[in-house]
Structures are given as structure tokens and as C-alpha cells.
């Protein structure tokens, strides 16, 4: 198996993974909430999160690895790797216990693509939020409850870097308008995405 590059401090990444053999990783509503609670416990200390989407058998995250921890000590790639391992292991153990299953819940590794330009960042935000509609879980992505989309129209506290995302879109209006762009705009994104084949097999 090809070794994936480590998640490096200060860099932006699109992270995604799916259930082992395409299995669902979320069985009922409480699973989505528990996943996010564990995420904030294990990952928020080492990564800034811009957007997310959780679907029945896979998820997407757009993150930036922090350069320093709260106590000002430097973040290292091995530490970030361990935090993600702790997160996925904790969620897997909880699901296995709740549903009397054994073994791996996720594919053995979570995929990552470094985000290196503005165009890709903006396209990913829209792509991730529109993913439930693309996979026909809903007719309108704005109806889907398990993505970060609605958080950008809320004043409620959030672990998301909302202000940074909205600044990239020149405000809420630009954020909303760009999410409504035609389907061919999403097609153009696929030309940028090296995980295209992976995603086509996901649902």
C-alpha cells in the first residue's frame, strides 16, 4: 500500500474516508452527533476546521493543521497522526459496542489531498456542502442536517472557522450565491480532484 504523506502543520487538506467495504458508518441520528463530539475532543486541538459533511457511509472535512497548541508548544506531524488515530479508534469502539459488531469500521487509512490554491479551496467548500445532493440523499443540499452549511447563517458558537470561510467568499451573500452555481461548476471541480475514482465508488 502506498504511504500517504503526513499532515504537516500550517497546511490545508481535504480529508475523506468511508466505511470498510462501503459499510455505513452512521446508523442513526445520535451517531452523527457523537462523531462530532469526538472530533472536537481529539481533532479541534490540532486542526482548524472550515467545513464538513457527514454522509451514511463516508465523510468530508476541509481542515488546516495548526502550528501551535493552546499551550504554545509546536504541533508535530506524528502528534497529529496520533490524534486522528485516537479519534477514529474511539468512534469505532463506540459503534462496535452499540451495534454488536467487530473489526474495522473505516477503510484502513483516511485519504488526504493538500489544498494549495484559492480556486480549489472555494470549490471544495461548495462541493462538500453539495455532496448530499450529488449522492441523492436529498433533493436540495440545503435540507441536509449533517453538514456545516447552516452554521454559516447562524450566530451560535461553533468550532468552525466561519469568519475565515466567509471572508474567502466576500461575506454571507457571496457564500450563498456561489453554492447555487450550476452543476457544470461542480463538474469542473472533479477535474481538480484526484480522489474522483474513489468518490464514484462511495455510493
- Could you count the other beta carbons within 10 Å of the beta carbon of residue 170? 11
Report pLDDT digits (tens) over 50-69.
999 999 999 999 999 999 87
117-120-121-125 Cα dihedral, nearest 10 degrees: 180
Number of domains the chain is built from: 1
Q: Is 46 a domain residue?
A: yes
Q: Is 96 a domain residue?
A: yes
Residues of the domain holding 113: 12-197
Q: Is 5 a domain residue?
A: no
Return the pLDDT at 84.
Answer: 96
pLDDT band at residue 182 using 50, 70 and 90 as cut-offs: low
* Over residues 83-108, mean pLDDT: 94
Cα first-last separation, the chain: 23
Return the pLDDT at 193.
Answer: 52
Give the SS3 label for residue 117: coil
The H-or-E segment that residue 18 falls in is strand 12-18
Taking the model in full, what pTM does it have? 0.88
Separation CA 101–CA 86 (nearest Å):
19
pLDDT band at residue 203 using 50, 70 and 90 as cut-offs: very low
What CATH number corresponds to the domain at position 76? 3.30.70.1290
Return the pLDDT at 190.
Answer: 56
Return the pLDDT at 201.
Answer: 45
pLDDT band at residue 196 using 50, 70 and 90 as cut-offs: very low
Amino acid at each position: 500500500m502506498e504511504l500517504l504523506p503526513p499532515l504537516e502543520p500550517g497546511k490545508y487538506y481535504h480529508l475523506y474516508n468511508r466505511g470498510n467495504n462501503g459499510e455505513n458508518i452512521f446508523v442513526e441520528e445520535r451517531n452523527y452527533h457523537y462523531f462530532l463530539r469526538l472530533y472536537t475532543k481529539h481533532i479541534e486541538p490540532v486542526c482548524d476546521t472550515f467545513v464538513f459533511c457527514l454522509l451514511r457511509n463516508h465523510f468530508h472535512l476541509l481542515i488546516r493543521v495548526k502550528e501551535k497548541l493552546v499551550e504554545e508548544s509546536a504541533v508535530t506531524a506524528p502528534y497529529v497522526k496520533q490524534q486522528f488515530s485516537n479519534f477514529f479508534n474511539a468512534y469505532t469502539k463506540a459503534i462496535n459496542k452499540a451495534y454488536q459488531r467487530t473489526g474495522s469500521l473505516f477503510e484502513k487509512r483516511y485519504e488526504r489531498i493538500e489544498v494549495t490554491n484559492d480556486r480549489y479551496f472555494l470549490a471544495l467548500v461548495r462541493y462538500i456542502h453539495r455532496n448530499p445532493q450529488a449522492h441523492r440523499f436529498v433533493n436540495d443540499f440545503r435540507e441536509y442536517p449533517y453538514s456545516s452549511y447552516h452554521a454559516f447563517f447562524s450566530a451560535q458558537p461553533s468550532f468552525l472557522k466561519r469568519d475565515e470561510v466567509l471572508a474567502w467568499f466576500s461575506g454571507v451573500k457571496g457564500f450563498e450565491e456561489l453554492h447555487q452555481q450550476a452543476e457544470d461548476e461542480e463538474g469542473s471541480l472533479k477535474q481538480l480532484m484526484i480522489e474522483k475514482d474513489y468518490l464514484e465508488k462511495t455510493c
